[in-house]
Amino acid sequence: MARLYVLLFLVQVVLAVCALISCLSAEDEQVKVLPRLVWVLVILFFPLVGSIAWFVAGRERATGPGGVAASGGPAAPARRPVAPDDDPDFLASLDKRSRDEDRERLQRWEDDLRRREEELRDRPDDRDRPEV
């Protein structure tokens, strides 16, 4: 019987930890019914009931296939990608900026090369100098 109590206690602790992580990592728009701080306190003071309440009523459900929320209602509008390397607009801007910088650098190199070639043409040749 003691093993059952230990197992139930561990399940309760794991559920509370998962609920806390979910609550603290949820976006502000995903937290429903109560403010985030109140949800954290409810989960901490009433671990079993608070955790279950958080998963049932405290957060928006994840969307399933076809853009329908798990509750059967319409899904929330799609959000922009979180990471910059997942954002196609950001990657396109990097590519454009990189191309512009490459063009400018190439233009500077070409100008520098022309300037050096002109300096070499204008400079007297070593073969024309008399030997001493």
Burial of 51 (0-12, 13-18, 19+ CB in 10 A): buried
Confidence grade of residue 42 (pLDDT, cut at 50, 70, 90): very high
How is the chain split among helix, strand and coil, in percent rounded to 5? 70, 5, 25
Q: Does the structure show a pLDDT above 60 at 6?
A: yes
Report the share of the chain in percent with pLDDT over 90: 42
- pTM score > 0.75 for this model? no
- 78-125, pLDDT tens digit by residue? 665 567 777 788 878 877 777 888 889 999 999 999 999 999 888 877
Q: Is the pLDDT of residue 61 over 90?
A: no
76 token code pair: 């929330």
